[in-house]
Structure 1
Amino acid sequence: MADKQHLYLVDGSSYIFRAYHRLPPLTNPQGTPVGAVYGYTTMLWKLADDLHKADGPTHLAVILDASGVSFRNEIYDQYKANRPEPPEDLKPQFPLIRDATRAFSLPCIEEEGLEADDLIASYARAAAKRGWDVTIVSGDKDLMQLVGEEVEPDDGFAPGKVDMLDTMKNQRIGIPEVIEKFGVPPEKVGDVLALMGDSVDNVPGIFGIGPKTATKLIQEHGSLQAALDAAPDMKKSKLKERLLEGREMAELSRVLVQLKEDCALPMQLDDLKLDAVPKEPLAEFLAHHGFTSLLKRLDGGTGSPARKTDLHPAKQDNQARAAAPEGSRQALPEMPPVDCSAYECVQSMERLEHWIARAFAARKVALDTETSSLDALQASLTGISLALGPNDACYIPLGHGGTDMFAEKPEQIGRDAALAALKPLLESDAVLKIGQNIKYDLNVLARHGIAVAPVDDTMIISFALDAGRSMDGIGGGHGMDELCQRHFGHTPIAFKDVCGTGKKAIPFGEVPLDRATEYAAEDADVTWRLHRLLHPRLAHEGSTRIYERVDRPLIPVVAEMERNGIRVDRAALARLSEEFATRIGEIEAEVHEIAGQEFTIGSPKQLGEILFDKMGYKGGRKGKSGQYSTDQAMLEKLAAQDDAPIAQKVLDWRQLSKLKSTYTDALQAAINPETGRVHTSYSLVGAQTGRLSSTDPNLQNIPIRTEIGRQIRTAFVPEAGNVLLAADYSQIELRLAAHMADVPPLKEAFARGEDIHARTAEELFGHVDRDTRARAKTINFAILYGISRWGLATRLGTEPDEAQAMIDRYFERFPGIQRYIVATLEGVRERGYSQTLFGRKTWFPRISSKNQAERQGSERAAINAPIQGTSADIIKRAMVRMLPALQDAGLGNVKMLLQVHDELVFELPESEVEAASKVIEKVMGEAALPAISLDVPLAVEIGHGTSWDAAH
């Protein structure tokens, strides 16, 4: 035995949740979820290996929480009351995690009525008193109270030292690191925690006192008690009031955060001696749960399981890790590598019928279409690929051969005959059709009279699971190539590799069939594999509800909206383009006159030189390129100066130029020659919070608060005899904030139908006029987006200190909002993601980034994501229910055309406006039910008219 004993205490609970959120769900051969078990096992394995290399412990134990209730709940019944129940698929894994620990022949310690932290504290103190060194394997801030040297060792022992090891950050935590984090030594950490509280554990602290203020108070006064005693003599301030009012809660909190260091030890210290890891129980455990890669590592690694050095990855695993960042790939179901040579080119009706029969028997088929362009509503169908399993795929060419009448055409089934044969399969309720962005395929095939259903979409499944997150923490898109590379380590054949690029590019219909088959069938094959991998995760990760009840049923709805399109008045757009061109020329001349010379206004370099070098305006700043910044913020800042009229002229020029190029010109070019309508494309994965996004053309960013923007909307018109109807949720995000943050004044105001901005102005400023209402409106929305004092100051045109005072006053009047913000950020930091009321997850992998801009950007987005995401979920639920409700009401002539943020646009006969309005208002107003019963009503504003603008 070594002269100096060194005990490692592993906080097993933190390992469990890290493992659960880090890896995709897996099931063992018995069908039990074991994703967290697998992750925990690999983490424990790596820890033991790393500790051996570092000449690590002589003794080791894993400490777990026995239950969610401890003696602290008797002191304060709300302790940890905010913590959600563990996910359903994690609960059965807790006993298996204990089995995993014992499989390593390591002590696994837990005790009813005590938290793991208390057991860790008691073991740490007992060991340090005997002169042992102790390392606590955890990053938990509460345990940092224990760091340091034992001040009262038992007789005859030198003092032992206690430090921590945060394996997530690969950091040792000693006294200097604790002081760096808290500003106080470890023995004072409990005092700081008592003042600031902990929203995760529901330790109350003192409301309004954060980490910085708590640290400052303890630094100045030396202890919590001294700070509280000093409060009566402090000068009048909000801090004094908070200390006086919150004294009782702070003293209670000090008891709650104090670790219990005198628990009876369930196992004696000497019994924690770390011996060799016997191979047999570990091998049996790994084999039982199907952890074949770990079993191979145990059998084929460079070490032997009879020694602690055994826990080395096998050589081939090291090579794989070098090829891809850790966590960039998921554990895979058993599937062979992609083999494009295995695919079949189907060129006869006999073979097509063979594949159709097999697809009916399989009950699910991956589907992909090949077309002549990316526009689903104008492209011609070139071929269809199907997949029934890994490497079990085919391509059915339908439109191959040169476009010239003399070009040789390969053998292929006639398009009409093939589609007639495929139609029963593609429309059968008994066969699931799987696609990657299948909305495109639905629209292509709908033009041939085929209504594909039911469907699954791997792109949208991936989004429901991993919005904002990628397995390697970088990127995180949901396109097929990216998903294939991320999950399978395979790069599919690129379109440019079969069709070429530039002037030498050829249509897909001219690609030789052998090469076309490899490319097209591989897409279907990969889509099938992605579904096999991703779909089981929905249930395991609690995402089934959002996918099955919101996203999946929305696919055909959005596809139909795209096919409907919306009519635009080409002549009106042309007139606007001419007007804009004239005004742009006039503004350009005015700018040149002010500048005293002609220059290219659209050139940032030339504009910067004019503004700051020639005209001498202050505040110019150069970037790395050496040229001045002339972005919108800079121009708006200059425009606020009375002596810089040129800045506003340039802003006007930019706005008109953008509107002309982006809308009045582009919309004319976007009119479909067959339908005479504009057909935007909606993405169900385009916005991280779940909002739909619109492209080709983007109809969601037409400005509505300016006269010019409204002019563009007047060009959107119905067919003769019809009108356009716009139904818009009124202030839905503020309503949801009132509900989610539990803000009684706001809930009452909404229930009474009050002007919410006027109510906020009354609360903040004591009176309501045009100015205070406008400022209140800005504050209402800005705070929901996590705005900083500087950001709010810029929006209000005031000083940062005054803006901060408004923020403070807002939180005083509406404390629920601040509690919501704090709890949301704490939850995201702990779990890695936020959630909407309907369970949609948005991941924020950079929420703890060392880069301040990245971290603060993530924090702002995380504050708003649950609210904006819930809003998006609600309008999606309304869209799914809308057409069936209209049909049931005998209003089948009403067509849903557009979704723009909180608004839906319909086209309908004028005679049906009244009846349709009642149905639309009811569906939208009740869209959250029955899943969620909101504390505030959802108000819907409806208008109609002969243009989109007139409908508002």
Structure 2
Amino acid sequence: MAQQQRLFLLDAYALIFRGYYALIKNPRVNSKGLDTSAILGFMNSLLDVIKRENPDHLAVAFDNGGSKDRLAIFPEYKANRDVTPEAIKVAVPYIKEILKAMHIPIIEVPGFEADDLIGTLSKQAEKENFKVFMVTPDKDYAQLVSENIVMYRPARMGNGIEIWDVEKVKEKFEVDHPEQVIDFLGMMGDAVDNIPGLPGVGEKTAKKFIKEYGSMENLLAHTHELKGKMKENIEANKEKGLLSKQLATIILDCPVEFNADNYILEQPDVEKTDALFIELEFRRMKEQFDKIFASKNQATTSNSAIGVASEAVPASEDQLDLFGSAAGSTSPSPFQTLETVKHMYQLAQTPMAIRLLAQQLLQQQSVCFDTETTGLDPLTAELVGLSFSFEKGTAFYVPLSANKAEVLETLAHFKPFFESETIEKIGQNLKYDIKVLKQYDIHVKHPMFDTMIAHYLINPDMRHNMDVLAETYLKYTPQPIEELLGKKGKNQKTMREIEVELVKEYAGEDADITFQLKQEFLPQLEATATLELFNNIEIPLVSVLADMESEGIRLDVDFLQSLSTTLDTDIKQLEQSIYETAEETFNLASPKQLGDILFEKLKIGGPKPKKTKTGQYATGEEILSELAPKHQIVADILNWRQLIKLQNTYVDALPKQINPTTNRIHTEYMQAVAATGRLSSNNPNLQNIPIRTERGRLVRKAFVARNEDYLLLAADYSQIELRIIAALSQEPNMIESFKNGEDIHRSTAARVFNVPLEEVTKEQRSHAKTVNFGIIYGVSAFGLSNQTNLTRSESKELIDTYYETYPKLKDYIATQIEFAREYGYVQTILGRRRYLKDIHSQNAVVRGAAERNAVNAPIQGSAADIIKIAMIRIHQRLVQEQWRSKMLLQVHDELVFDAHKDELEALKTMVKDEMERAFTLEVPLVVDLGTGENWLQAH
């Protein structure tokens, strides 16, 4: 008897959306700024099916214009759906081109949805004795399942597939036969498709009704058996129930015809597919694709999903660990070895093995290393071991004793390697390892290569942690740390408690993968012209930040406790005032209660206050800020929120973050977070300390000098972003003002309001300042009117006059946007790129945001580049010239130093000189200096 032929029908949009959202936190953006997440996700699903199943027949179905039949009976069908993401709109034409090049049929009929097309074809193919696999994650397809039609549900991240056959559907939905899934879906409705369902009926109740009544119609015929509110709801909504069942029913008579000959999976046009993969920058997919189809003719159907039911099928061989599973025997060499076909991670723990490894490291040009520690805080964590890799697939792990004297004795062998100025040290987030080793008197020296920083320059909008990078670039999923230590919480083990053989595999893998990532990223840095920026700015900065973070800053805890007490009093006074106006007490932190008080009881905000999607009144800051000038209670609420946030986030939180050993605060600088190139800080976040309110500024008073021999020195770039935009745009009027040392805002006001410089009013200067900074962020007339007391027409007139005054600036903005449209990115003065994937978006709001970024990113990014240059040069001099003064903080355009009083004047001269000479622009860079016992005085 001939073997039953198999037909695979893929629901295109279900797989496209699934692939896109699986990567939503880690979008795949290529060098042209194109978000390829949806294409990659769909193609991974398609190729997985082909590789896994070697199908005889295959086709892909697309929605086209929605369901005309469903919309005819219910115009609100799918009305709640969000606008299709731009990345998916862009992806579909590429996917169709790839399918055409693969000679895979595209099934698409205007007015019909993919599930209807697949349902119709499935039933036709079943009659021709085909086994049909509906490839989709959409549970609605369960209604179609029969003896020869199954659902083939891909799992995420290569974790196999699930087959839903008749028994699986019966188990999942608790039905007697799959057709009852229609009744189940009709009863409970579907918020995504806007199918109303029966009021008050959820999944649990729907299953109960199916068991008792079998169908929607039978339930509606026996509503007299129901009780209470449920009976009332269902009897009042019988028509809605029947409508919902009709909407949930997959149509089986679409105008499509199954012709087996048209669906045969043929060999692709590899020349065309290769060209598309190259254009999309899918290098690894191209290799995988060519490999699959080169061997397809020799494949058998032994891995077919036929007969598999109710269980996940394991991933295919290529989706298993890149290095295989550990198996083997101990080597007789000085290294204890666990070897496999794909990798060899060795344990070096005898004195001879340690000496040999240390000697071997000194003979290399480039070595990847990683530290294993007892915790995440590098200033308190203890070393548990070191791993090294200098060849793909191999690594060495050196376990370290809990005895610090023994650790120092072992580390002495590796100190020459770490402190070598010729051997390149590779790592992922090297700053952490540098700080850990510094506690053991090891000073890691350049040259270095940090894969996290490299990827940040290559693709700044992606995530940069090692697991993501391994999955993206090596198609390999590393062992999760939780698998080794257990889930986070009090029962999680430390690395020291884990068996050394297991740690060796984990640590060796980290070093090996990072070594391989370096080989991936170096050519990409060259291709994106960011290698010089990487070598000259970002990598030297790693050591600078490590020293600054290790240094920390002293905190005046007594002052913060006093400030907290004052805030307590003020918060209670505000609460009392708010309750008196409301004539009742309520939970101020509850948006619902607050909304009811303001908009129901007090009738603030006009006849139609804005509501959220959940039906509650909107009480966000933007809403309340508009109402505050006219309503004291709203002003009090905003003030209350500010004081609560200040107290919780800084005043009460900062003392808890003092390091018990150093008695100082040690913020962590995030070098690979902000896409603009700016540094951000964490634990605590010093970038967000409020400075616009008097109370907010007081927090800076808590940051104090080291001791009575020191003062804090603050050095701040004056209007650096305006100076950069003047230089980049070559705007002569702005350049002249800066060269003459004029107040740029007063100068701008004089020009746009056509008055002498000395006659500019305070209000005119304020408006000019708003426009000056607003232009960088693409301010509109509407935005300007909201920020000033100008009307919208006055704002438009002011902006128009501004551009007439500074015509080169307007030209520059247009040029930047045009550059972004042509190349997909913009860049800073040092070549730092910001990719703008939405620059061609059909959505005007989305495209407008990208256009504003095209103007703003080079300015913010160039300011970031300049202050980084200054930090590197200043740090170099502080170290080489052995100053007692130290650089402590970087916040926006400001640097803060612990300045020894004996060095103060010399330090001021040196810092000002290095900052102002960091980069030569058409306009001078100017630095303002201030000193004081605390940061507030110095600033």
Q: With the length of structure 1 as denominator, give the TM-score of the two structures.
A: 0.63
Aligned-partner Cα distance in 1 for 2:764–2:299: 68
- Deviation by residue 1:608-654 (Cα, 9 ceiling, x = unmatched): 1111111111252111111111111111101022xx11111111111
Contact 2:371 2:433 in 1 (8 A): yes
Match of residue 337 from structure 1? 322
- Residue 456 (str. 1) matches residue 442 (str. 2): no
Contact 1:561 1:896 in 2 (8 A): yes
Q: 1:582 Cα deviation (Å)?
A: 1.8
Aligned-partner Cα distance in 2 for 1:278–1:629: 55
Q: 1:802 Cα deviation (Å)?
A: 2.8
- Deviation by residue 1:582-628 (Cα, 9 ceiling, x = unmatched): 21121111111111111111111111111111111125211111111
Match of residue 527 from structure 1? 514
Contact 2:375 2:381 in 1 (8 A): yes
Contact 2:611 2:618 in 1 (8 A): yes
| Equivalent in 800, 814, 823 of residue 808 of structure 1 | 800
- Residue 789 (str. 1) matches residue 781 (str. 2): yes
Aligned-partner Cα distance in 1 for 2:629–2:483: 53
Amino acid at match of 2:747: R
Contact 1:344 1:393 in 2 (8 A): yes
CA 1:851–1:937: 2 relative to 1, 3 Å:
same
Q: 1:859 Cα deviation (Å)?
A: 2.2
Aligned-partner Cα distance in 2 for 1:910–1:386: 44
* Counterparts of residues 154-233 of structure 1 (less than 5 Å): none
- Residue 733 (str. 1) matches residue 721 (str. 2): yes
Aligned-partner Cα distance in 2 for 1:293–1:556: 37
* Counterparts of residues 507-906 of structure 1 (less than 5 Å): 507-618=494-605, 620-641=609-630, 644-718=631-705, 719-767=707-755, 768-886=760-878, 890=881, 892-906=883-897
Aligned-partner Cα distance in 2 for 1:682–1:676: 19
Q: 1:529 Cα deviation (Å)?
A: 0.9
CA 1:934–1:22: 2 relative to 1, 3 Å:
closer
CA 1:22–1:761: 2 relative to 1, 3 Å:
closer
Match of residue 411 from structure 2? 419
Aligned-partner Cα distance in 2 for 1:292–1:656: 53
- Report the aligned-residue RMSD: 3.3
- Deviation by residue 1:36-84 (Cα, 9 ceiling, x = unmatched): xxxxxxxxxxxxxxxxx9xxxxxxxxxxxxxxxxxxxxxxxxxxxxxxx
Q: 1:536 Cα deviation (Å)?
A: 2.2
Aligned-partner Cα distance in 1 for 2:537–2:297: 43
- Residue 480 (str. 1) matches residue 466 (str. 2): yes
Query: For 1:678, what is the secondary structure of its paired residue?
Result: coil
Contact 1:338 1:390 in 2 (8 A): no
Q: 1:357 Cα deviation (Å)?
A: 2.5
CA 1:630–1:865: 2 relative to 1, 3 Å:
same
Contact 2:32 2:823 in 1 (8 A): yes
Match of residue 103 from structure 2? none
Identity across aligned pairs (percent)? 40
CA 1:294–1:508: 2 relative to 1, 3 Å:
closer
- Deviation by residue 1:670-705 (Cα, 9 ceiling, x = unmatched): 111111110000011121111111101111211223
Amino acid at match of 2:886: K
Q: With the length of structure 2 as denominator, give the TM-score of the two structures.
A: 0.64
Match of residue 920 from structure 1? 911
Query: For 2:834, what is the secondary structure of its paired residue?
Result: strand
- Deviation by residue 1:370-407 (Cα, 9 ceiling, x = unmatched): 2222111111222222122222113222257xxxxxxx
Match of residue 939 from structure 1? 926
Aligned-partner Cα distance in 2 for 1:500–1:920: 48
Aligned-partner Cα distance in 2 for 1:861–1:896: 31
Query: For 1:599, what is the secondary structure of its paired residue?
Result: coil
Q: 1:874 Cα deviation (Å)?
A: 0.3
Match of residue 499 from structure 1? 485
Query: For 1:414, what is the secondary structure of its paired residue?
Result: helix
Contact 2:418 2:425 in 1 (8 A): yes
CA 1:799–1:293: 2 relative to 1, 3 Å:
closer
Amino acid at match of 1:950: Q
Range with bigger deviation, 822-831 or 740-749: 822-831
Amino acid at match of 1:337: L
| Equivalent in 375, 388, 393 of residue 391 of structure 1 | 393
Q: 1:347 Cα deviation (Å)?
A: 2.5
Match of residue 224 from structure 1? none
Amino acid at match of 2:475: G
CA 1:313–1:861: 2 relative to 1, 3 Å:
farther
Aligned-partner Cα distance in 2 for 1:883–1:684: 17
Q: 1:349 Cα deviation (Å)?
A: 2.2
Q: 1:484 Cα deviation (Å)?
A: 1.1
Q: 1:707 Cα deviation (Å)?
A: 1.5
- Deviation by residue 1:338-371 (Cα, 9 ceiling, x = unmatched): 3463322332222222322222222211111122
Q: 1:776 Cα deviation (Å)?
A: 0.7
Amino acid at match of 1:377: L
Range with bigger deviation, 503-512 or 846-855: 846-855
Q: 1:515 Cα deviation (Å)?
A: 2.2
Gaps of 5+ in 2: 1-28, 36-58, 60-91, 99-267, 304-319, 327-343
Contact 2:33 2:837 in 1 (8 A): no
Query: For 2:925, what is the secondary structure of its paired residue?
Result: coil
Amino acid at match of 2:625: E
- Deviation by residue 1:229-273 (Cα, 9 ceiling, x = unmatched): xxxxxxxxxxxxxxxxxxxxxxxxxxxxxxxxxxxxxxxxxxxxx
Amino acid at match of 2:579: H
Contact 1:362 1:388 in 2 (8 A): yes
Q: 1:541 Cα deviation (Å)?
A: 2.0
Q: 1:315 Cα deviation (Å)?
A: 9.8
Amino acid at match of 1:648: A
CA 1:525–1:797: 2 relative to 1, 3 Å:
farther
| Equivalent in 358, 372, 375 of residue 374 of structure 2 | 372
| Equivalent in 336, 357, 360 of residue 358 of structure 1 | 360
Aligned-partner Cα distance in 1 for 2:513–2:294: 35
Q: 1:782 Cα deviation (Å)?
A: 0.8
Amino acid at match of 2:869: R
Aligned-partner Cα distance in 2 for 1:466–1:487: 12
- Deviation by residue 1:422-466 (Cα, 9 ceiling, x = unmatched): 111111123211111100100000011000112211110111111
Query: For 1:677, what is the secondary structure of its paired residue?
Result: coil
- Deviation by residue 1:645-674 (Cα, 9 ceiling, x = unmatched): 111111111111111111111110011111
Runs (4+) of structure 1 moved beyond 6 Å?
165-171, 276-279, 291-300, 312-316
Contact 1:399 1:509 in 2 (8 A): no
Amino acid at match of 2:356: H
Aligned-partner Cα distance in 2 for 1:813–1:845: 32
Query: For 1:362, what is the secondary structure of its paired residue?
Result: coil
Aligned-partner Cα distance in 1 for 2:557–2:821: 51
